[in-house]
A and B are shown apart, each in its own frame.
Chain A
Amino acid sequence: AMAGALRALRAVWPLLRRGLRGTARPPNTRQLREAEEAAPVFQYAGKAARRKDRVFVWGFSYSGALGIPSFVKPDAGWKKPRRIQCTPYRLETEEKISSAACGYGFTLLASSTTDITKVWGMGLNKDSQLGFQRSRRDQTKGYEYVLEPSPIPLPLEKPQQTRVLQVSCGRAHSLVLTDTEGVFTMGNNSYGQCGRKVVEDEIYSESHVIHQLNEFDSRVVQVVCGQDHSLFRTKKGAVYACGWGADGQTGLGHYNITSVPTKLRGDIAGVNIIQVSSYGDCCLAVSDEGEVFGWGNSEYLQLASVTETTQVNVPRHLPFKIGKIKEAACGGTGNAVLTEEGNVFVWGYGILGKGPNLRETAVPEMIPPSLFGWSDFNLDIRVAHVRCGLSQFAALTNRGELFVWGKNLRGCLGTGRMEDQYFPWRVTVPGEVVDVACGVDHMVSMVKSF
């Protein structure tokens, strides 16, 4: 029995030995290096990888102004309606959007393409501020709320050559600026803000009227909408206005409504204006020499540095000694200017951005650059643009970062919190922010991806 067992073991032994020889041992350095060199190389981005342009929106969504229909009417069972989008959300667009504007509950997006569709609109359409949007259910009626970016048909003479340069939105009207065919206006015209004669008892909803404005002294380069008035800046540096004037925001010397764009005089006459801004009832204009002029409502100390009256109907020069001014932005109750050095100055009433103690000031106060990321390590951070919503401010730095502050109405600041922000706070956007448009309760930004 013993011999039999030994014979069996001897037969099995070579197998055992082979088994032991074949066990895995930790690979030595040479094998590791060879394995590494033999590994395949993956390529995720080629040399010619281009940065993509994206649009991000955030704020109140039930008006449709964000352009994402699933927030209002969920298209899947697990989705719930989202009333407020408090952080930036990507909006898919077909074309690269070059200009965007936020109105009071609606948004316009424009691209500088030569295709037939150049402007898209979404949000409130009760006054046809987005043109006529034919309803798919009933061909005779139009939509009152547009939930996703829908093309706005413009009556262009040469639709495949004209390019849209800029869009602007007010409370219930919108302006579209083209390069060769002047300005197109649509929406509410009860105060003549669309630049055409006021028709008594006109019904503005489901209206097909889009008016074209062409009679200016030279080509219009910038259009700005206030709450119920419109401002046009021409290449020669002149400013035209039309619309409601009870606060003097048309700047024409009277407090009546104007239904035809008329040139402004006052301290602006003869001055080459390079930028105009307005959102509520106050207006600011910047000249090429860095001087700022203002007119309109001054109930919130916006123009209190030159006058005690609460309405100014003629443009007045604002003698601020803060340096050469590059850009101005008007909000509902507060104003902000940007100087050549990249500093932001604010004045007016409300949350101005210098802590909860500064509620109102008639003289511009500078916001410390360290709040925008300037420090001993980053000495070359500067603010490049300022924008204003109704009670919010937004600043873009040269590094592409977006800072917001002001009243956080329905989550429009995009910080992810619902509280008001008393000093500039960074908004985390996955990309470099190129431009931002502020509205009453939502914001739209154009971003370049990394």
Chain B
Amino acid sequence: LNAAPRRAPRQHIRFLPTPAPAPALAPGGGGALELVPSRVPVLADHPLVGGPRFRRLKIGVGHQLDMKASGVLVLGIGDGNKLLTDLYNCHLTKVYTVSGLFGKATDDFSDTGKLIEKTTFDHITREKLERIVAVIQGTNHKALLMYSNIDMKTQEAYELAVKGLIRPMEKSPPIITAIRCLQFALPEFQLEIHCLHETQQYLRKIVHEIGLELKSSAVCTQVRRTRDGVFTVDDALPRTQWDLRSVQDAIRNCRLKVRTELEKTL
């Protein structure tokens, strides 16, 4: 950043003493110094005086991501940190791709934990999994309506419910707004989960509970966030692109999306 061309130094008018042009005939004149107004750069703006322009950058993080999870992580730079708080208050849903494995139960619900129990899983079919997933969605839908703190008896509550816009706008326990099964190949399966106010450990716990409901056990092998509010995997920069140009392009591309989303909600 510091190598980028700097802003042109400010100019101001100063009265500088300049030796007057000596007449050709009078040698040894030198003579009186005159004050001539001229435009000179402000010395304070000179790089050798002021030093590098950027010494520290304020970087803030959006919603947290676990040690064992991967995916989209939103960062704010400098003034963008204020936008981060605004985005948090929008309470937008995040989308995760969660992979699980049937047959094991561990203490921290992931496959690297201490084994507690092993169970059979050949009675599980995709249909059963989808049934359980539909029930989870149903109960969470109810929780969504309950935690949104709207009086159910009003007409606006009805209209918002029809459009599906009812959302809890304050702190609430984790709520799953949509969940569906992407892949199913015993013993592995993959789910896509849209949720609010959750932690990755909660998602692993959900996988464990799905295993229990199906009268078996399951552990979570992978949690990957594919979308965080308006930011998707396509906008995210992979490790090879962590340089100034890509960051600036990414910020420019997302600026419009973020602004429209904030205006819509707040």
A-B pairs under 8 A by CB, number: 89
Interface pair A357/B123, CB less than 8 Å apart? no
B139, B145, B158, B214 — most chain A CB neighbours (10 Å): B158
Give the contacting residue for B123; candidates A45, A378, A401, A422; CB below 8 A: A45
With contacts A41-B118, A45-B123, A377-B180 taken as known, whether A419 is within 8 angstroms of B215 at the C-beta atoms is no
A356 to B161, CA, bound (A): 13
Interface pair A355/B119, CB less than 8 Å apart? no
Cβ of B132 under 8 Å from chain A: yes
B130-171 interface with A by 8 A CB criterion: 131-132, 134-135, 137-139, 141-142, 145, 152-155, 157-159, 161-164
Cβ of B237 under 8 Å from chain A: no
Secondary structure at the A interface, as helix, strand, loop or mixed, is: loop
What distance in Å separates the Cβ of B118 from its nearest Cβ neighbour in chain A? Answer: 5
A49 / chain B contacts, CB cutoff of 8 Å: 123, 215
Give the contacting residue for A420; candidates B128, B153, B159; CB below 8 A: B153
Which of the four size classes fits the interface of chain A?
A: 35 or more
A35 to B164, CA, bound (A): 49
A428 to B158, CA, bound (A): 20
Cβ of B216 under 8 Å from chain A: yes
Interface pair A428/B139, CB less than 8 Å apart? yes
Interface pair B158/A46, CB less than 8 Å apart? no
A351-376 interface with B by 8 A CB criterion: 354-357, 368, 370-371, 373, 375
Smallest CB-CB separation from B106: which chain A residue? A36
Interface pair A356/B155, CB less than 8 Å apart? yes
Interface pair B158/A354, CB less than 8 Å apart? yes
A399 / chain B contacts, CB cutoff of 8 Å: 131, 134
B213 / chain A contacts, CB cutoff of 8 Å: 450
Cβ of B178 under 8 Å from chain A: yes
Cβ of B18 under 8 Å from chain A: no
Cβ of B117 under 8 Å from chain A: yes
Interface pair B152/A357, CB less than 8 Å apart? no
A49 to B128, CA, bound (A): 12
Interface pair B164/A370, CB less than 8 Å apart? yes
A369-389 interface with B by 8 A CB criterion: 370-371, 373, 375, 377-378
What distance in Å separates the Cβ of B123 from its nearest Cβ neighbour in chain A? Answer: 5
Cβ of A43 under 8 Å from chain B: yes
What distance in Å separates the Cβ of A291 from its nearest Cβ neighbour in chain B? Answer: 29
Give the contacting residue for A42; candidates B119, B131, B132, B158; CB below 8 A: B119
Cβ of B122 under 8 Å from chain A: yes
Q: Which residues of B contact A (CB under 8 A)?
A: 103, 115, 117-120, 122-123, 128, 131-132, 134-135, 137-139, 141-142, 145, 152-155, 157-159, 161-164, 178, 180, 213-216
Cross-chain pairs A/B with CB under 8 angstroms, 12 sampled: A35-B115, A39-B117, A42-B119, A44-B215, A47-B123, A357-B155, A357-B158, A373-B137, A400-B134, A423-B161, A423-B162, A450-B128
